A and B are shown apart, each in its own frame.
Chain A
Amino acid sequence: MADYDDVWIVIPVYNEGAVIGDVVERTRETFPNIVCVDDGSRDDSAERIAHTGAHLVRHPVNLGQGAALQTGISYALAQPGMRYLVTFDADGQHRVEDAEAMLAVARSEGADVVLGSRFLTENEQVPLLKRIVLRTVVALSPTARKLKLSDAHNGLRVLNREAASRLRITMNGMAHASEIVGFLARSGLKVREVPVTILYTDYSRSKGQSLINGVNILFDLSVRQRGA
């Protein structure tokens, strides 16, 4: 088994008490360093995390997933010996093996950032409607096209220390995924995409981004490009 002491897993958590304990324990079998950012959950998420071996950072109020990711990244960057950072969704839709494969790519090919993609291999794992929406978001995003990405909204990402310290997520809500892609396009960092498998369980399906939220994301991003 490879040595993952220099890897930090960042998991933004919002009302995931039903599964977060299992997700953390399963991930900890491989990765020793995990920080969970509890984004002001109203359920028992924080308590569940406290019983695992993960570091717990709690937002005093709910700020949004983008803000939680940035908090986790700031925390991980402050840890001694941290060289790689993996962002991970809390609902158990990502596979630990995929994270390992992406880390292997980051280490062996010197990529600064490795993104997981659901679409690199043609299969039926993504529900059709969701596939259409996600494809549309990619097609409408000039930055995603520039990087030739196939999936702009995957929560599984590997960043090395340089990429993580340069990234500043300002979109607190769900638009941060596109913001990250935009940052990568401008940054000149070396970005790779690796096929991953998403476990679309009933639970993650019920918690996942609603398709209508895509409208909000597009609005946030268009305003952001003019404003800030």
Chain B
Amino acid sequence: MLIQIILIATAFVLFVFFIRSSHSVRTQAVKRIGFVLFLVLNLDAVLRPDDTTWLANKVGVGRGADLVLYLLVVAFAFYSVNTFLRFRNLERRFTDLARSIALRDAQPPAGADRLDLAELPVDASAPRVPVQTAREDAPEHARDETPESSLTGGSPR
């Protein structure tokens, strides 16, 4: 069936994209195993639609399609929260950046002493990225840590 081919192709493309953004953190490995599992389940659901119905009946849902829809809702909710947290983290960095620009360009009134820039406090509200890892995996690192630490109640600070 055509739909099966399309869905399987999509799954493979996703898989390739996923593999290619490579960096070596343990959480990343766990995520990948989870994602591969997800893809396998996808393939199974596409090739043998009855499996989802079987599973649906096991967990007390009438049809397999309903089960898939419910899982989609859950996945979307998770995605939304993840995105929200990521955006908020981005907003904090953006604020810190704008603030440091504002403080650097501060205009004292005419005749006042010029502010010594070295004395300005470093704003610690943004999560710090260690210098030695700051080159390649720093963005990934920070991006991955935020939702996890936030969801478990820890502070990114």
Contacts and interface: CB of A to CB of B under 8 A. Distances in A.
Interface of A: 37, 50, 52-61, 63, 67, 70-71, 74-75, 77-79, 165, 168, 170, 172, 223, 227-228
Contacts of B112: 55
Contacts of B92: 170
Interface of B: 84-85, 88, 91-92, 95, 98-99, 101-103, 105-109, 112, 115-116, 119-121, 123-125, 150, 155-156
Counting chain B CB atoms within 10 Å of each CB, the highest count among A59, A70, A75, A227 belongs to A227
Given A55-B108, A55-B109, A165 B99 contact: no
Residue from B84, B99, B105, B125 whose CB has the most chain A CB atoms within 10 Å? B99
Nearest to B155: A228
B107 to A, nearest CB: 4
Contacts of A70: 99
A78 B125 CA distance: 17
Given A53-B109, A57-B103, A79 B120 contact: no
Given A79-B115, A168-B125, A227-B88, A57 B95 contact: no
B150 A57 contact: no
A172 B107 contact: no
A152 to B, nearest CB: 22
B91 A50 contact: no
Contacts of A67: 95, 98-99
A63 B84 CA distance: 18
Contacts of B101: 60
B109 A71 contact: no
Contacts of A223: 84
B157 to A, nearest CB: 8
A52 B95 contact: no
A35 B121 CA distance: 16
A77 B119 CA distance: 9
B107 A74 contact: no
A61 B98 CA distance: 7
B107 A71 contact: no
Given A168-B124, A227-B88, A59 B98 contact: yes
A5 to B, nearest CB: 13
A136 to B, nearest CB: 26
A168 B125 CA distance: 7
Nearest to A46: B107
B150 to A, nearest CB: 5
Contacts of A165: 121
